[in-house]
Amino acid sequence: MALPIREILVPTDFSEHSNYALRYALALAGQIGARITLLHVLESPVIAPDEFYPGPVAPNILRAEQAIARTWETEKSKHPSQHQSIVKEGIPSQMIVETATAKGSDLIVIATHGRSGLAHVVLGSTTEKVIRQAPCPVLVVRLPGSHLVKE
């Protein structure tokens, strides 16, 4: 039984890894006629309860939106498809899952950086958290030629 994939969510941190995942998703979307939503999440600043955070996030959001626009400009001629861009602020794994749920995404295409060991424990894995909590299937894409990084 074939499941229709109409909406693909692609989280990006603008790294080489996530740019590859976007190209992968665009190629897939082109073959099946799906729509792509590119999502960038600005991590909320972590502050102590007694600290004051005076800075607005608007400049960061503007920079992220400009970066998404540049990413689309680079990729759209190679893989034309319907697409949308979203910038949110929060915890990346939570925002990815919330966005996939809200948009009714049929698939999430996400990159992995392949960290293991201490780096994985300390940094956590956004991809792993998304896999566990996603409301839809998750396709994890690794940059060709990249090796497992043990830190």
Per-residue pLDDT of the chain (151 residues; tens, 9 = 90+): 567 899 999 999 888 888 899 889 988 998 898 999 999 998 866 555 555 555 554 566 677 777 777 776 766 655 556 778 888 999 999 999 999 999 999 999 999 875 554 444 444 589 999 999 999 999 999 888 765 544 4
Q: What is the pLDDT of residue 148?
A: 53
- Rounded distance between C-alpha atoms, residue 86 and residue 39, angstroms: 5
Contacts of 145 (CB under 8 A, 6+ apart): none
Buried/exposed code over 6-25 (b: 16+ C-beta within 10 A; e: otherwise) = ebbbbbbeeeebbbbbbbbb
Phi, psi of 118 (to 5 degrees): -60, -40
Query: What are the tens digits of pLDDT across the range 124-134?
Result: 589 999 999 99
Ordered by start, the domain boundaries in the chain are 7-44+55-103+115-150
Model confidence, pTM: 0.77
Q: What is the pLDDT of residue 102?
A: 97
Q: What is the pLDDT of residue 10?
A: 95
Q: What is the pLDDT of residue 123?
A: 42
Three-class SS state of 104: coil
Look up residue 36 and give its two tokens: 């792509």
From the centroid of its chain, how far is CA 19? 10
CATH architecture of 7-44+55-103+115-150: 3-Layer(aba) Sandwich (3.40)
